[in-house]
C-alpha cells in the first residue's frame, strides 16, 4: 500500500462520533429487553442517552454502554417505569466486572472508551479520574477553591500549550498545543495501523509521537514534522538520514517499566517488514542491551548529544531515563550535556510486554521522581532552561494535571492511546498473535481488524476530552495557562495525610 498517497493527510483536531468497531462497546450496565416487548417504542422517547433505537419500525438491541444506570432507569419518566409490560431490565454488566485491574479499573477503561467514542466525559457514574491502586496518583487530589477565583475567565482561552525548547541556542523553537505527546512504541511491538493512528492523531493536535526503537518505517515519512525518532541501545534502524528528517531526536537510556533489563521483541513478531526496518533476520528474537556501553559518565553522554547536534543542526535532543534514586543528578547531568528535554519514565508504565516483577519493584514511582527532579533543577538555577517531561503510568487528564502540579512541564502517554483503540488490557502484547484486538500485533490477519481513519479519530477524541478537562481544572484553580500549574504542589493533597479532602464535587464541576 502507498501510505504516502493514501494516509498522508493529517485530519483536523475535531471531535467526530466514532463508535466501537465491534458493534457494541462494553458498558457498566446491562440493558435487557425480553420477549414481552411489543415495540411500543416508549423507551426510545424517554431515554436521554439514546440507549434505545429503532430499526425497521422495531426496537433494536439496546446500546447499553450508554446507559446511565439503575437509578436513572427507575425514575418515573425513564425506561423501566414507562414499560407497562415490564419488558426492560437494567442491572450491572457481569462482563464489565471481569475487566481491568487495580491501576486500570473497569471504570477507567470504559470511561476512556467513551471519551474516544464521543470526545466527552461519560454522563453516568463511571469513575474517569482515578484507579484503585491504593497509591500513586490515585492518592492525590486537587484542592479546589469553593468558587473559581476568576469566574469571568473564558475557558476556551485558557492556554494548554507548552514549549519543548527553553534554551536560547538558535535551534528550533517548538510549542505544542497540549501538554502531551506520544511515547515510543516501536514498529514490531505494535501494528503499522496502531503506529500511524497515534502519529496522525498527535499531529492533528500539533504534537509529536516517538517512533520507539524499531526504526523509521517509510510510512512515517509524510509526518516528519511530528515525529520524534528514538535512538536506543539496540540501534535498530538508526541512520543519519532518519536523524536528519526530524525536529526531535530522543535517546532512550532506560525504560521505567523495566530498568536494567533492556528491550526485547520476540521472534514471532519479527516479520519480514519488521526485520527489514530493523536490519535483522525475520523470526529472530531481538534484544536491546542495557545500558549504552559507550556511556559511563556525563562526558560520554555529552558526546552522544553532540553527535546528534552535529548530524542534525536544527533539531532538539530529548533524553529518556528511568527513575533511580539519583534521577535528579541524572537530569541535571543531561542539562549540562546539552539536552533540551529530560524525559523521566517511572515504574508504572509499559504495556503487557513489560514484566510485572520489574514494573512493581525496580524504578521509583514517577510521582516521587517529578518533584525530586524539579526541585533540584530549581535549586541549581536551571529549571527555566530545560523542559521536564514525565511518563510511566499516566492514564487520565487528572494524572496529566497532577504530574504538572508536581513539577513536570508535560507528559508522555502510551497505554491510554491503546485503550482508546479498545485495548482490554489482556497483557498478551509480547505475543505475535496474542492481541485479539489487532493493536499490539504484526500478524496481518489481526492487523486488519482496525481501520486507520477509525483509530486516528478515537485518539483525537480522547485528547480533545483531556484538553477540556485540563481547562476545567485550570479554570477552577484560577489559572490562565497550564504553565502556571508547574510545581504548584500547594494545590494538591494526599489522602493519607488530609482526611478532609473530598471527591464529591469534582465530577459535577468537571462536566
Same domain (yes/no): 84, 169? no
Query: pTM higher than 0.75 for the full model?
Result: yes
Domain end, chosen from 60, 92, 124, is at 92
Structure letter (DSSP) for residue 481: B
DSSP 190: B
pLDDT digits (tens, 9 = 90+) for 295-319: 778 898 899 999 999 999 999 999 9
For the chain, the domain total comes to: 2
283 and 374 share one domain: yes
Q: Look up cell 543528578; give the residue.
A: 329
pLDDT at 295: 76
pLDDT digits (tens, 9 = 90+) for 102-132: 999 999 999 999 999 999 999 999 999 999 9
Cis peptide before 291 (omega within 30 of 0): yes
Could you report the per-residue pLDDT of 414-425, keeping only the tens digit for each? 999 999 999 999
Amino acid 99: pLDDT:
92
Residues 184, 80 share a domain: no
Q: Is 107 a domain residue?
A: no
DSSP characters over 52-100: --EETTEEPPP-GGG---HHHHTSTTSHHHH-TT--EEEEE-HHHHTS-
Do both 213 and 351 map to the same domain? yes
In a domain, 320, yes or no: yes
Q: How deeply is 144 buried, as exposed, middle or buried, from its count of CB atoms within 10 A (0-12, 13-18, 19+)?
A: middle
For the chain, give percent helix, strand, coil, nearest 5: 35, 15, 50
Q: Say yes or no to pLDDT of 144 above 90.
A: yes
- Greatest Cα pair distance in the chain: 79
Rounded Cα distance, 232 and 241, in Å:
16
Same domain flag for 81 and 167: no
When pLDDT is cut at 50, 70 and 90, the band that residue 352 belongs to is low
Q: Considering the domain boundaries, does residue 23 fall inside one?
A: no
Query: Is residue 409 domain-resident?
Result: yes
423-466 per-position pLDDT tens digit: 999 888 877 777 889 998 888 888 889 999 999 999 999 999 99
| Residue 507 covered by a domain | no
Q: Residue 188 — very low, low, confident or very high, per pLDDT cuts 50/70/90?
A: confident
Q: Which residues, 6+ apart, have CB-to-CB distance to 52 below 8 Å?
A: 41, 43, 44, 59, 60, 62, 63, 79
Is residue 167 scored above 90 in pLDDT?
Answer: yes
The CATH number given to whatever domain includes residue 55 is 3.30.70.20
Residues 189 and 69 occupy one common structural domain: no
Closest by alpha carbon to 322, among 404, 250, 402, 257? 257
Tens digit of pLDDT for each residue in 231-262? Answer: 987 677 788 999 999 999 999 887 655 555 55
Q: What is the span of the domain harbouring residue 368?
A: 155-494
One domain for residues 74 and 203: no
Domain membership flag for residue 49: yes
Task: Give me the CATH number covering residue 404.
Answer: 3.20.20.70
- The answer to whether residue 39 sits within a structural domain is yes
Look at residues 75, 92, 109 and tell me which one is the last residue of a structural domain.
92
Amino acid at each position: 500500500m502507498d501510505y504516502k498517497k493514501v494516509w498522508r493527510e493529517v485530519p483536523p483536531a475535531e471531535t467526530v462520533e466514532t463508535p466501537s468497531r465491534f458493534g457494541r462497546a462494553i458498558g457498566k450496565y446491562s440493558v435487557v429487553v425480553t420477549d414481552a416487548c411489543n415495540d411500543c417504542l416508549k423507551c426510545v422517547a424517554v431515554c436521554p442517552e439514546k440507549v434505545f433505537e429503532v430499526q425497521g419500525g422495531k426496537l433494536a438491541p439496546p446500546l447499553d454502554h450508554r446507559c446511565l444506570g439503575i437509578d436513572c432507569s427507575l425514575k418515573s419518566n425513564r425506561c423501566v417505569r414507562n414499560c407497562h409490560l415490564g419488558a426492560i431490565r437494567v442491572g450491572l454488566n457481569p462482563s464489565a466486572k471481569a475487566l481491568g485491574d487495580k491501576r486500570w479499573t473497569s471504570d477507567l477503561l470504559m470511561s476512556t472508551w467513551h471519551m474516544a467514542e464521543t470526545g466527552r466525559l461519560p454522563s453516568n457514574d463511571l469513575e474517569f479520574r482515578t484507579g484503585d491502586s491504593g497509591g500513586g496518583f490515585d492518592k492525590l487530589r486537587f484542592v479546589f477553591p469553593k468558587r473559581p477565583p476568576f469566574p469571568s475567565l473564558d475557558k476556551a482561552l485558557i492556554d494548554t500549550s507548552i514549549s519543548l525548547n527553553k534554551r536560547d541556542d538558535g535551534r528550533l523553537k517548538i510549542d505544542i498545543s497540549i501538554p502531551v505527546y506520544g511515547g515510543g512504541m516501536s514498529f514490531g511491538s505494535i501494528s503499522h495501523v496502531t503506529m500511524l493512528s497515534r502519529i496522525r492523531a498527535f499531529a492533528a493536535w500539533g504534537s509529536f509521537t516517538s517512533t520507539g526503537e524499531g526504526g523509521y518505517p517509510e510510512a512515517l515519512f509524510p509526518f516528519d514534522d511530528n515525529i520524534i525518532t528514538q535512538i536506543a541501545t539496540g540501534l535498530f534502524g538508526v541512520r543519519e538520514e532518519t536523524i536528519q528528517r526530524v525536529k526531535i531526536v530522543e535517546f532512550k537510556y532506560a525504560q521505567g517499566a523495566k530498568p536494567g533489563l533492556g528491550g526485547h521483541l520476540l521472534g514471532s513478531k519479527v516479520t519480514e517488514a519488521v526485520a527489514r526496518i530493523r536490519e535483522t533476520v525475520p523470526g529472530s528474537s531481538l534484544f536491546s542491551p542495557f545500558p549504552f556501553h559507550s556511556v559511563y559518565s556525563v562526558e560520554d553522554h555529552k558526546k552522544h548529544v553532540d553527535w546528534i547536534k552535529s548530524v542534525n543542526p536544527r533539531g532538539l535532543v530529548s533524553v529518556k531515563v528511568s527513575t533511580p534514586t539519583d534521577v535528579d543528578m541524572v537530569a541535571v547531568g543531561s542539562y549540562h550535556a546539552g539536552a533540551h528535554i529530560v524525559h523521566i519514565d517511572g515504574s508504572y508504565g509499559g504495556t503487557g510486554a513489560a514484566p510485572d516483577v520489574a514494573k512493581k519493584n525496580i524504578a521509583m514511582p514517577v510521582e516521587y521522581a517529578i518533584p525530586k527532579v524539579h526541585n533540584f533543577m530549581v535549586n541549581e538555577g536551571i529549571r527555566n532552561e530545560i523542559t521536564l517531561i514525565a511518563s510511566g503510568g499516566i492514564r487520565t487528564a487528572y494524572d496529566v494535571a497532577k504530574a504538572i502540579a508536581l513539577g513536570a512541564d508535560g507528559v508522555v502517554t502510551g497505554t491510554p492511546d491503546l485503550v482508546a483503540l479498545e485495548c482490554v488490557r489482556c497483557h498478551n502484547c509480547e505475543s505475535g498473535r496474542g492481541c485479539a484486538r489487532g493493536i499490539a500485533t504484526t500478524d496481518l490477519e489481526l492487523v486488519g481488524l482496525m481501520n486507520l481513519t477509525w483509530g486516528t479519530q478515537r485518539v483525537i477524541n480522547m485528547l480533545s476530552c483531556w484538553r477540556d478537562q485540563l481547562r476545567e481544572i485550570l479554570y477552577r484553580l484560577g489559572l490562565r495557562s497550564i504553565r502556571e500549574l508547574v510545581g504548584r504542589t500547594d494545590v494538591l493533597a494526599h489522602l493519607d495525610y488530609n482526611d478532609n479532602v473530598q471527591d464529591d464535587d469534582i465530577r459535577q464541576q468537571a462536566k
